[in-house]
Amino acid sequence: MIGKLNHVAIAVPDLEAAAAQYRDTLGARVNPPQDEPEHGVTVVFIDLPNTKIELLHPLGEGSPIQGFLDKNPSGGIHHICYEVEDILAARDALRAAGARVLGTGEPKIGAHGKPVLFLHPKDFTGTLVELEQV
């Protein structure tokens, strides 16, 4: 069902400093920040040869990333994202297997402009999993 790893998302308390560390220390290609108000985040995508890193920073009041940073002030891995061919078929198969889909269960458009869903971390060894339709 799942395809390749699309990205690893890391919540960061200082977006500029984190982007600079990936660019200047690790030599990665860092894209400019983009606000995603419907998700309450500002994201910076870092392109790697085999995947992406997504730096997440709170945007606006009530950002889910702020809650994560309140519990983890230094930041940390927030979620991992896998690609799927058909997000609705994946959702239905996962539900049939007992996995919980967060929210209404209807896909939203993610930061890459593609449909996404999130799966409950308690069903995946404590890891928040995002599925993105390719």
Domain with residue 104: its CATH number is 3.10.180.10
pLDDT for position 134? 94
Give 18-56 pLDDT, tens digit per residue: 999 999 999 999 999 999 998 999 999 999 999 999 999
Whether the model pTM is above 0.95: no
What is the per-residue pLDDT for 124?
Answer: 97
Q: Is the per-residue pLDDT at 73 higher than 90?
A: yes
Concerning whether 16 is annotated as a catalytic residue, the answer is no
Distant-in-sequence contacts of 84-88, Cβ < 8 A, 24+ apart: 84/1, 84/2, 84/3, 84/131, 84/132, 84/133, 84/134, 85/3, 85/133, 85/134, 86/133, 87/115, 87/116, 87/117, 87/131, 87/132, 87/133
% of the chain surpassing 70 pLDDT: 100
Report the share of the chain in percent with pLDDT over 90.
Answer: 93
pLDDT above 90 (res 111): no
Res. 61: pLDDT tops 90: no
Domain that holds residue 7: 2-133
| Residue in 54, 83, 130, 132 annotated catalytic | 130
Report pLDDT for 60.
Answer: 86
Structural domains counted in the chain: 1
